[in-house]
Structure 1
Amino acid sequence: MGEISGRCLCGEVRYVARTEPKWTALCHCESCRRSASAPVVAWMGFAPEDVAWSGERKFYRSSEIATRGFCPTCGTQMSFESTRWPGEIHLYGVSRDDPENYVPQLHCHHGEHLEWLNVVDDLPRHERTAGE
């Protein structure tokens, strides 16, 4: 079991996860799309105590249940935490130092996917989150 490290665009904020992710997913929800200005967002979930940070993150409360961490220098979003998933921190999969090693397990919130984006793979597609 190795470590996963990653960083923001400018390198001021870095993380090291001491475990493999609990899960990985490609999220199609409007909130994630709008916050990242991307058609889909790659996520990986960890226990917060398994992630060590260096540099200063600022935080934005993006909804009544969610907070997003970002680099105050370059603006790169780094993390997502929600009361919906207590005891988890979600990190952006392609913020890894080795993004080619990110492997998604499923699509979540596929019910909100953009019709013009056609992702061709055999991954399970969930209308909301896995199990819903």
Structure 2
Amino acid sequence: MSKTMSGGCQCGRARFSVTVENDDAYLCHCRKCQKATGGFAAAFVEVPAGAVTWLAAPDWYESSPVARRPFCSSCGTPLGFAWADGTGTVDLTVGSFDDPSAFVPVAHAGAESLHEAWLDTKDLPRHYSATTESVAKRWQAAGLEVPE
């Protein structure tokens, strides 16, 4: 089941279109991905390099001798991971898709740096932006609705 999806950075400067073959995603917990995203892990969708079309080109950061990462230098959004030699697959960040809701995590990579405490958070209290006063008040003061 292949489908074409789109995505990009927060400010809209870097955009992509990609054909995905399934809804599989994975979490990479390696220290490089933690540093690159600022999170406990990076959530990725792995696709063949030829499946990605950059509609508006990202910037690239050589994050190690073997890898480079697309990102937007205007807003800072991390967009993925690719091998420095240009071969193999490209990993796109789940959050950079316009509609990331279809993706399902199927594996953990870089498990040597996995933080167990961050894996099962289903019992933590949930706070919604629209009902969090400190958030909602600022959006309202700007004359805007709280975004999703």
TM-score range, shorter chain: 0.7 to 0.9
Deviations 1:2-36 (A, max 9, x none): 21211111111111112325952111111101110
Deviations 1:55-84 (A, max 9, x none): 231111110101011112111111211158
**Consecutive unaligned residues in structure 2, runs of 5 or more:** 123-148
- 1:4-43 paired onto structure 2 within 5 Å: 4-20=5-21, 24-43=25-44
Matched length: 121
Confirm whether residue 91 of structure 1 aligns to residue 92 of structure 2: yes
Any conservation in 2 of the 1:21–1:46 contact (CA below 8 Å)?
no
**Amino acid across the alignment from 1:59:** W
Partner of 2:67: 66
State the secondary structure of the residue aligned to 2:46.
strand
Any conservation in 2 of the 1:4–1:20 contact (CA below 8 Å)?
no
CA separation in 2, counterparts of 1:25 and 1:15? Answer: 20
The percent identity for this pair of structures is 30
Which has the larger share of helix? 2
If you compute each CA radius of gyration, which structure gives the higher value, 1 or 2? 2
State the secondary structure of the residue aligned to 1:97.
coil
Any conservation in 2 of the 1:33–1:41 contact (CA below 8 Å)?
yes
Any conservation in 2 of the 1:81–1:88 contact (CA below 8 Å)?
yes
Any conservation in 2 of the 1:13–1:56 contact (CA below 8 Å)?
yes
Partner of 1:108: 109
Deviations 1:42-63 (A, max 9, x none): 1111111111112231111110
CA separation in 2, counterparts of 1:73 and 1:120? Answer: 32
**Consecutive unaligned residues in structure 1, runs of 5 or more:** 122-132
**Amino acid across the alignment from 2:120:** V
Tell me how far 1:111 sits from its aligned partner: 2.2
TM-score by structure 2 length? 0.72
TM-score by structure 1 length? 0.80
Partner of 2:118: 117
CA separation in 2, counterparts of 1:94 and 1:75? Answer: 13
When the two chains are superposed, the root-mean-square deviation of aligned CA atoms in Å is 2.3
Q: Residues 23 and 103 of structure 1: is their aligned pair in 2 closer, same or farther, counting only changes over 3 Å?
A: closer
